[in-house]
A and B are shown apart, each in its own frame.
Chain A
C-alpha cells in the first residue's frame, strides 16, 4: 500500500506544481492546497499504514496494533497551520483583485522604477 500511496502523492505534488506555475492566481492557491494535501498524506504514509486500531486506548487491543499516533498529531498541527495560511492567502488575493482588478500573475509584476 505504501508504494501505491507514494506514487499517488507524487501525482498530487505534480499537479500542485503544475498549478503553481500557471498564470492565474486562483490556480496557484489551489496548487498550494493540493501541495499541503500531498504533504499531509506523505507524513501519514511515512509513519506506516499498518496500524490495526485507531490510537485510542481500548480494551483488548495490544500496544503494537495501534496506528502510529505521532504522525497523526503532526498532521493535525499541519492541517491547522495550512488552513490559517490558506485563508490568509485567499483574503490577500481577494484584496488584490479588488485593488488591481486582475488575477493574471503576468500583469502583477513589479516594475523597475517602482520605489
Chain B
C-alpha cells in the first residue's frame, strides 16, 4: 500500500466536514472526524514491529519530477514515533473537543477543517523525505495554526496571537527554506536520506555553516526556543483542545523533529552542538523561571512547554557529542538521544493531559486566573487526580514517567562535563548547573499549578460559574493520558524497544546501525549516583521554595515590562510599520519637482559614474566638420533666445523666444543640408507657437500675475549636471565610433531599388515605412485625445460617479 496518500486522508476528510456540519446538526461533527485519526493511528501502530526491527518503509508520489520534487513518505523509527503521537493525541484531542466545544454555539465546521488540515500538514512534515515537500507541509502547519489560534476571530487577543505566531514561525520557515536550498545545492539532491549518506563530504563545504544556522532558525522559531518563544504564550488564545494538540504535543515538536532529523548531517559541527544544546538549556531555564510569574493557567503551561521543549532540545544537542567520541556507544554519551525521545513522549502525555485539565477548569469555573481559583479538590476530584499525576510527572517525581526522563536528562548533562571538544571542558560544567536550577523551578511551577488551583481555600464568590466536576466525556482523554503517564513508568523498556530505540538509530546512525544495538536499559533505581543526589536536591530545594512561595513570588512583578522580549517584538512591529510609513512620507512628497530631481540625479550619477569607472571619456579631434561663420551666428542666436526664455518675465516673451529657438534650429537644418527637416521644423514650430499662445495667452486671469523665475541653486546644479552629462556623453560617443554608418547602402540603392531621388523621403516611406505608419498613428491619437479633452466635460458630480 502506498501509504504516502494516507498523509492526505485528513485533509480529504475535511472536505466533508462542512457538509456533515450542515446536514447532520443533531450529531456533533467531531464524532465523524474522530474516525480519521483513529484509522491512521491503527495503521501506523501496525507498522511498529517493522521499525522496531530496524526496517524502513518508503512510498513516494511524483509531484514535479523535472525539478526533483516529490512527496516521499519515509517511515523509520523517528517518523513513526511522531506519526503515532500526531494521530494518537489527535484522536484524544478530537474526543475532548467534542465535549469542549458546543455544537450549537461554535462554528465547528471551521474548527475541524482547520484541525484536519493541520493533521495532514504535521504528518507530512514528519514523514517527508524530500526537503521541498517538507517545507511545503511546514508552512501548512504555520497556516493552519494561524487559523486555529484565531478561531474566535471576534476577539482582539486571538487575532493578535494568531498574527504574532504567524509572523515568527513564517520568518523561521523562510529561513529554513534558505537552509534547505543550500543543502540541496551542496548535496545536489533534495532527498534527506541521500543527504545523510553524503554527510561527511558536505561538512567542508562553504555553505555548511549557513545551512546549519538557517535550518536551526526554522527549528527554533517553530519549537519556541529563546528568543522566539514569545509567540507561544500568546497562542494560548486558541481553544484549549488546540493548545493541547498544537502547542504542547505536536506542532511545537516539529522543530525538535527537524533537529533530530538533521543531526546526522550537522553533528560534526561544534556550532551545531553549542547552539542546540546551549539555546535549548537556556530556554529550559528561562521558561521555567518565568512560568512562576504567570497568573493564567494556560500561560503557566505555555511557559512550561517552552521550558520542556528547551530541555529536549538541549538533549538533542548533547546527542551530537556521540559523533566525536570513539566507542561512545559504551559510555554515558549514549543516553542523550534516548533521553530526548523518551522525554518527548512523556511530555506529550503529561502536557496534553494538563492542558485538558486547564480547559476543564476553565469550562467548569469560567476562569483560568490562578488567583481566583483554589480549593477545587473536593469539587472536582477526578480532574484533580489527573492534574496531580501530570504535574508530578512534569516535576519529575516517581512513580511517573517524568521522573525517568528527568534522571536521564541529568545523566546526559553530566556527561557533557567530560566532553573535551569545542571548549566544552571549560564551559561544560555550566550545563548540569543550569539544568539543575531549571529543574528546581520546574518543580516549583508544577506544584504551583496543581496546588494553587486545587488546594487551598475555595473562593466561590470570585468564580463566574458554580464549580462542579466535568462531564465524563471530557475526562476520558486526559484520564487516558494520565494513565499512560503511569504505565510508561512501569514499562519504560518496552516503550524503549518499540518506539524509542528505532528513533535513536535515526538520530545517531554514527553510533548504531540497528535498534538492537542500543544497549540502554531504563531503571527507576540506579544506585547512589550523582543523578540521585541532584534529584534529591531538586526535591528538597524545590519543596522549600514552594513552601515559601508567597514570600518571594511578588519579586516577579518587579521585572520591568519595558525590557521584555514581547515589548521588543511590539516595538519592532511598530517600527517597521510606522518606519515604513515615515520613510515613504519622506520621499513621496507629491510634488512633481521632487520626483524629477530624483530621476535627474540618478541619471547624472549613473551615467557619469559609468563614464568615470570605465574610463570611457575621450575626445577625438579628427574627422570633424569645419567651423563656419554662419553656424556660429545661428548658434549665438540659439543661445541668446534660450537665455531669454530663462530670464524672461512674461510668458509671452518666453513663448516667442522658444519660437526663436525653433527657427534657429530650422536654420541649422538648412546649413547642415537637411531640407526636409528644415521645412518640417519651420511649419511645426509655427503651429506650436500658435498653440502655446492659444493655450496660455488667452487665459486672462493668469496673465495678471507674472513674475520672473526665481533662481534656485539646487535646480541649477542638477540642470548643470544634466547638461554636462549630455555633453560628455555626446563627445565620447562621437569620438569612439565602432562601426561605419549603414547609410552608404541607402545612398547607393535609393534610385536603383526604390526609384526615388530624395533619400530621406524614400527612407521614411519605403525602407522604414513602419516608423511612419505608427508616427501617423501617434498624430491621430493625439488629435483624438485633444478633441476628447475639449469636448467631453463631465461635471464634477458625474465625474465622481464615473469613478465609483
Given A15-B719, A105-B593, do A56 and B758 touch, yes or no (CB 8 Å)? yes
A68 in contact with B741 (CB, 8 Å): yes
A54 proximity list for chain B (CB < 8 A) = 673-675
List which B679-718 residues lie within 8 A (CB) of chain A: 680-681, 684, 687-688, 691-692, 694-696, 699, 701-702, 709, 712, 715-716, 718
A34 proximity list for chain B (CB < 8 A) = 642, 645, 658, 661
Residue of A whose beta carbon sits closest to that of B724: A10
B764 in contact (CB, < 8 A):
yes
List which A53-80 residues lie within 8 A (CB) of chain B: 53-58, 63, 66-70, 72-73, 75-77, 79-80
B559 in contact (CB, < 8 A):
no
A1 in contact with B628 (CB, 8 Å): yes
| Cβ distance B726 to chain A, nearest Cβ, rounded Å | 5
Residue of A whose beta carbon sits closest to that of B782: A84
Residue of B whose beta carbon sits closest to that of A78: B775
B760 in contact with A76 (CB, 8 Å): yes
B591 in contact (CB, < 8 A):
yes
A45 proximity list for chain B (CB < 8 A) = 730, 734
Cα–Cα, bound, A70→B764 (Å): 9
Given A30-B655, A37-B665, A67-B674, do A2 and B771 touch, yes or no (CB 8 Å)? no
B645 in contact with A30 (CB, 8 Å): yes
B668 in contact with A105 (CB, 8 Å): no
B723 in contact with A76 (CB, 8 Å): no
A18 proximity list for chain B (CB < 8 A) = 646, 715-716, 719
B624 in contact (CB, < 8 A):
yes
Q: What is the size, in residues, of chain B's interface with A at 8 Å between Cβ atoms?
A: 98
Over the window 768-797 of chain B, the binary record of Cβ atoms lying under 8 Å from chain A Cβ atoms (1 yes, 0 no) is 100110010011011101100110000000
Residue of B whose beta carbon sits closest to that of A86: B688
Cα–Cα, bound, A70→B635 (Å): 24
Residue of A whose beta carbon sits closest to that of B665: A37
A79 in contact with B684 (CB, 8 Å): yes
B672 in contact with A105 (CB, 8 Å): no
Over the window 87-106 of chain A, the binary record of Cβ atoms lying under 8 Å from chain B Cβ atoms (1 yes, 0 no) is 11011111101000101011
B680 in contact with A14 (CB, 8 Å): no
Cα–Cα, bound, A72→B741 (Å): 13
B763 in contact with A69 (CB, 8 Å): yes
| Cβ distance A80 to chain B, nearest Cβ, rounded Å | 5
A24 proximity list for chain B (CB < 8 A) = 709
| Cβ distance B119 to chain A, nearest Cβ, rounded Å | 45
Most B C-beta atoms less than 10 A away, residue of A12, A23, A91: A91
A87 in contact with B723 (CB, 8 Å): no
Residue of B whose beta carbon sits closest to that of A105: B592
B764 in contact with A73 (CB, 8 Å): yes
Given A8-B635, A37-B661, A51-B672, do A83 and B684 touch, yes or no (CB 8 Å)? yes
B709 proximity list for chain A (CB < 8 A) = 19, 22, 24, 27
| Cβ distance A91 to chain B, nearest Cβ, rounded Å | 5
A69 in contact with B760 (CB, 8 Å): yes
B661 in contact with A94 (CB, 8 Å): no
Residue of A whose beta carbon sits closest to that of B799: A99
Given A9-B727, A26-B696, A97-B702, do A56 and B757 touch, yes or no (CB 8 Å)? yes
B330 proximity list for chain A (CB < 8 A) = none
| Cβ distance A37 to chain B, nearest Cβ, rounded Å | 5
List which B619-652 residues lie within 8 A (CB) of chain A: 619, 621, 623-628, 631-632, 635, 638-639, 642-643, 645-646, 651
B593 in contact with A21 (CB, 8 Å): yes
Cα–Cα, bound, A50→B789 (Å): 45
Cα–Cα, bound, A47→B674 (Å): 12
B743 in contact (CB, < 8 A):
yes
B803 proximity list for chain A (CB < 8 A) = 115
Given A6-B731, A37-B665, A44-B674, do A73 and B768 touch, yes or no (CB 8 Å)? yes
B730 in contact with A9 (CB, 8 Å): yes
A2 in contact with B722 (CB, 8 Å): no
B591 proximity list for chain A (CB < 8 A) = 105-106, 109
List which B656-680 residues lie within 8 A (CB) of chain A: 658, 661-662, 665, 668-669, 672-677, 680
B555 in contact (CB, < 8 A):
no
A2 proximity list for chain B (CB < 8 A) = 624-625, 734
Given A1-B627, A95-B790, do A109 and B590 touch, yes or no (CB 8 Å)? yes
B730 proximity list for chain A (CB < 8 A) = 6, 9-10, 42, 45-46
List which B62-85 residues lie within 8 A (CB) of chain A: none
Cα–Cα, bound, A76→B712 (Å): 35
B758 proximity list for chain A (CB < 8 A) = 55-57
B775 in contact with A80 (CB, 8 Å): yes
B723 in contact with A84 (CB, 8 Å): no
Residue of B whose beta carbon sits closest to that of A12: B642
Residue of B whose beta carbon sits closest to that of A85: B782
B534 proximity list for chain A (CB < 8 A) = none
A33 in contact with B625 (CB, 8 Å): no
Given A8-B638, A84-B778, do A42 and B726 touch, yes or no (CB 8 Å)? yes
A37 in contact with B726 (CB, 8 Å): no
A57 in contact with B750 (CB, 8 Å): yes
Cα–Cα, bound, A77→B771 (Å): 7
Cα–Cα, bound, A38→B597 (Å): 20
Cα–Cα, bound, A44→B668 (Å): 10
| Cβ distance A55 to chain B, nearest Cβ, rounded Å | 4
B748 in contact (CB, < 8 A):
yes
Cα–Cα, bound, A82→B393 (Å): 84
Contact of B779 among A20, A56, A84, A95 (CB under 8 A): A84
Given A12-B642, A18-B646, do A75 and B658 touch, yes or no (CB 8 Å)? no
Given A50-B625, A84-B778, A90-B692, do A10 and B759 touch, yes or no (CB 8 Å)? no
B467 proximity list for chain A (CB < 8 A) = none
Over the window 731-748 of chain B, the binary record of Cβ atoms lying under 8 Å from chain A Cβ atoms (1 yes, 0 no) is 101100000011110111
| Cβ distance B233 to chain A, nearest Cβ, rounded Å | 38
A-B contact list, 12 entries, CB within 8 Å: A9-B727, A15-B646, A15-B719, A22-B593, A34-B642, A42-B726, A49-B672, A68-B743, A87-B687, A91-B695, A94-B695, A94-B699
Q: A17-B722, A69-B760 are in contact. List 10 more A-B contacts (CB 8 A).
A: A1-B628, A4-B631, A15-B719, A33-B688, A34-B658, A41-B668, A57-B756, A66-B747, A108-B592, A115-B803
Report, nearest first, the 4 A-B pairs whose CB atoms are least far apart. A14-B723, A10-B727, A84-B782, A18-B719
Q: A: which residues have CB within 8 A of B?
A: 1-15, 17-24, 26-30, 33-34, 37-38, 40-42, 44-58, 63, 66-70, 72-73, 75-77, 79-81, 83-88, 90-95, 97, 101, 103, 105-106, 108-111, 115
